[in-house]
């Protein structure tokens, strides 16, 4: 296989762009939101925050929060095909 050039943000022009009315300052409410174990959360990348971001292929999926790990980030279990995967995601990239 060919060695890929670039980062995880390649070919994500539309995924990593916000609508005009959502641009600007980050909402503190979404930055500090809390999740309990077992909550369902929708994965949406917030383009202006790089920390705690997941791979763009999982953008738009829904997962189950399995606990708070790694500082501010939550561990979210998603299903990718027939396999379950654990992602560590900052709460700004999660929607209830």
Q: What is the pLDDT of residue 4?
A: 80
Mean pLDDT of 77-81: 95
List Cβ neighbours of 18 (8 Å cut-off, separation of 6 or more).
46, 47, 48
Are 65 and 95 in contact by the 8 Å Cβ rule? The answer is no
> Which neighbouring-strand residues pair with 95?
42
Mean pLDDT of the 59-80 span: 93
pTM for this entry: 0.86
- The SS3 call for residue 48 is coil
Domains of the chain: 35-95 (2.30.30.70)
- Judged against a pLDDT cut of 80, whether residue 26 lies above it is answered with yes
The residue behind tokens 């790694």 is 70
Predicted confidence at residue 8, as pLDDT, reads 77
Q: Within 8-83, where are the H helices?
A: 28-31
pLDDT at 70 over 80: no
């Amino acid at each position: 296989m060919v060695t890929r050039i670039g980062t995880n943000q390649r070919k994500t022009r539309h995924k990593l762009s916000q609508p005009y009315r959502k641009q600007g300052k980050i909402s503190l409410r979404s930055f500090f939101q809390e999740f309990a174990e077992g909550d369902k959360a929708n994965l949406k990348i917030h383009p202006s925050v790089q920390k705690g971001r997941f791979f763009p292929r999982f953008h738009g999926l829904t997962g189950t929060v399995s606990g708070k790990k790694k500082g501010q980030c939550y561990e979210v279990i998603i299903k990718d095909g027939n396999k379950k995967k654990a992602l560590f995601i900052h709460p700004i990239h999660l929607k209830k």
